[in-house]
C-alpha cells in the first residue's frame, strides 16, 4: 500500500514539474530571433494551433513615422485578439537597417526587458479573459550616424495566449518603417528675424515667395515625407525685400512633400501637396 501511495506521489510530482516547466518556458522572456525579421521565423515556431495573423487580431506600436538622430521616443505596444478569451500576453521587437540592429531599447515597464538587441516581455502578464492588452511606456533611442536615406524597419511580434502552455495561442506580426525627419525640431524656425515666406503656387513649379529685411544667402530644397532630398536649388544671395524662388517640380508625383528654406542661421519648413 505504501509503495502504491509513494508511486502516486512520484507521478504527481513529475506531472506538476512538467506542467510548471512548460508554463514557465512559454511565459518567460521570448527567445531572440523570432520577430519576423527573417521570413518564417516568428513565435509560431513554438506556439502552434492557429494560423499566423488570424483574422480579427493585430499587434502594433505607437512609434512615429519620422525620427531625429539621438532622440528618445516613448511608445506603447498593443496586442488585440478577436474574442475576449485571452489571458496571457507576450511580444518581441527589433529595429533593423540593412540587416543590422540600430538604436537602443530601454524599459522600466513591468513584465518587459531588453534581451540583447531586442525588446521583449520578461514574464508574460496574466490577466482575466480579455481581448486586448497594452505594454506602455517603452523607449527607443534613435542612432546618431545613419545614412539619411536609410529606412529603419521595426519588426514586431505579439502573442495573445490562452495561458496554458504553447498550443492554442494567436501570433500576430507587424513591420513599421521610420525615416529621418528632414527638419529636426532643434534647428527649425531660426531664419533671419521677422522674415516671411510662403508657397504661392505648387503646380508645374513650386514658387517660394519671401520678404527679407536685409540681403541673405538662401537655399531651398524639396524632400519626400520620408526624408529623401528630391530637388535642391543651390544657395545664392537674395536682396532685401520681396523675392521669388522657383523650383521645377513637374517630375514629382502627386502627393505630400516638405519644402525646406535654409540660411546660415538654420532652416525652417512647410508642407506642400502637389
CATH number at residue 97: 2.60.40.10
Asked if residue 209 belongs to a domain, the reply is yes
Cell readout for 64 is 512615429
Give me the CATH number covering residue 262: 2.60.40.2550
d(CA 76, CA 178): 16
Pairing outcome for strands 205-212 and 241-248: antiparallel
Domain boundary among 125, 160, 180: 180
Alpha helices (runs of H) in the chain, residue ranges in sequence order:
2-27
For residue 111, the model assigns a pLDDT of 95
Tell me if 265 sits within 8 A of 191, measured CB to CB. yes
Give the whole-angstrom CA distance, residue 54 versus residue 171: 8
Residue 103 lies in a domain: yes
Do residues 92 and 225 share a domain? no
Counting the structural domains of the chain, the total is 2
Instruction: State how far the Cα of 257 lies from the Cα of 161, in Å rounded to an integer.
Output: 42
Distance in angstroms (rounded) separating the CA atoms of residues 152 and 100: 10
Question: From the first residue on, what is the mean pLDDT of each consecutive set of 10 residues in the chain (274 residues)?
Answer: 45 38 50 79 72 92 88 95 94 95 96 95 93 97 86 95 81 91 51 62 79 84 80 88 87 84 76 80
Same domain for 144 and 258, yes or no, is: no
pLDDT per residue over 113-139, tens digit each? 999 999 999 988 999 999 999 999 999
Range of the domain at 82: 25-180
Give a yes or no: residue 78 inside a domain: yes
pLDDT at residue 18 in the model: 36
Q: Are residues 30 and 162 in the same domain?
A: yes
Pick the last residue of a domain from 164, 180, 196.
180
Handedness of CA 79, 171, 18, 122 (dihedral sign): negative
Task: Give a three-class secondary structure readout of 170-228.
Answer: EEEEEEEEEEECCCCHHHCCCCCCCCEEEEEEECCEEEEEEEECCCEEEEEEEEECCCC
pLDDT confidence of residue 172? 95
pTM: 0.63
What is the pLDDT of the chain when averaged over all its residues? Answer: 81
User: Are 63 and 143 contained in the same domain?
Assistant: yes
Is position 8 within any domain? no
pLDDT of 184 reads 52
Is residue 215 a part of any domain in this protein? yes
Question: Distance (Å, rounded) from C-alpha 103 to C-alpha 150?
Answer: 13
What's the confidence (pLDDT) of residue 11? Answer: 39
Whether residue 151 sits in one domain with residue 168: yes
Same domain? For 191 and 94 the reply is no
Longest dimension (CA), the chain: 107
Say what the pLDDT of residue 241 is.
Answer: 87
- For residue 4, tell me if it sits in a domain: no
Cβ neighbours of 210 (radius 10 Å): 20
Give the residue from 160, 180, 200 where a domain finishes: 180
Residues 32 and 151 in one domain: yes
pLDDT of residue 259: 86
The pLDDT, as a whole number, for residue 159 is 93
Amino acid at each position: 500500500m505504501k509503495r502504491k501511495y509513494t508511486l502516486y506521489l512520484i507521478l504527481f510530482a513529475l506531472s506538476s514539474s512538467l506542467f510548471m516547466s512548460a508554463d514557465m518556458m512559454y511565459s518567460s522572456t521570448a527567445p531572440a530571433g523570432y520577430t519576423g525579421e527573417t521570413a518564417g521565423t516568428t513565435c509560431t515556431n513554438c506556439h502552434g494551433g492557429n494560423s499566423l495573423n488570424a483574422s480579427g487580431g493585430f499587434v502594433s506600436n505607437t512609434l512615429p513615422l519620422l525620427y531625429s538622430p539621438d532622440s528618445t521616443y516613448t511608445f506603447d505596444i498593443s496586442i488585440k485578439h478577436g474574442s475576449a478569451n485571452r489571458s496571457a500576453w507576450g511580444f518581441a521587437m527589433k529595429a533593423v537597417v540593412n540587416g543590422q540592429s540600430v538604436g537602443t531599447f530601454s524599459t522600466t515597464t513591468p513584465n518587459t526587458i531588453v534581451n540583447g538587441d531586442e525588446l521583449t516581455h520578461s514574464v508574460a502578464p496574466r490577466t482575466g479573459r480579455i481581448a486586448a492588452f497594452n505594454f506602455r511606456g517603452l523607449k527607443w533611442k534613435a542612432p546618431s550616424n545613419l545614412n539619411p536615406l536609410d529606412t529603419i524597419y521595426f519588426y514586431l511580434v505579439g502573442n495573445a495566449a490562452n495561458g496554458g502552455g504553447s498550443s492554442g495561442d494567436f501570433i500576430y506580426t507587424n513591420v513599421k518603417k521610420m525615416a529621418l525627419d528632414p527638419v529636426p525640431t532643434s534647428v527649425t524656425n531660426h531664419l533671419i528675424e521677422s522674415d516671411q515666406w510662403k508657397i504661392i503656387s505648387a503646380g508645374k513649379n513650386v514658387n517660394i515667395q519671401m520678404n527679407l529685411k536685409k540681403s541673405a544667402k538662401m537655399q531651398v530644397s524639396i524632400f519626400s515625407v520620408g526624408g529623401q532630398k528630391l530637388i535642391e536649388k543651390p544657395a545664392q544671395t537674395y536682396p532685401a525685400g520681396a523675392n521669388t524662388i522657383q523650383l521645377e517640380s513637374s517630375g514629382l508625383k502627386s502627393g505630400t512633400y516638405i519644402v525646406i528654406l535654409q540660411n546660415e542661421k538654420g532652416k525652417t519648413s512647410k508642407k506642400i501637396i502637389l
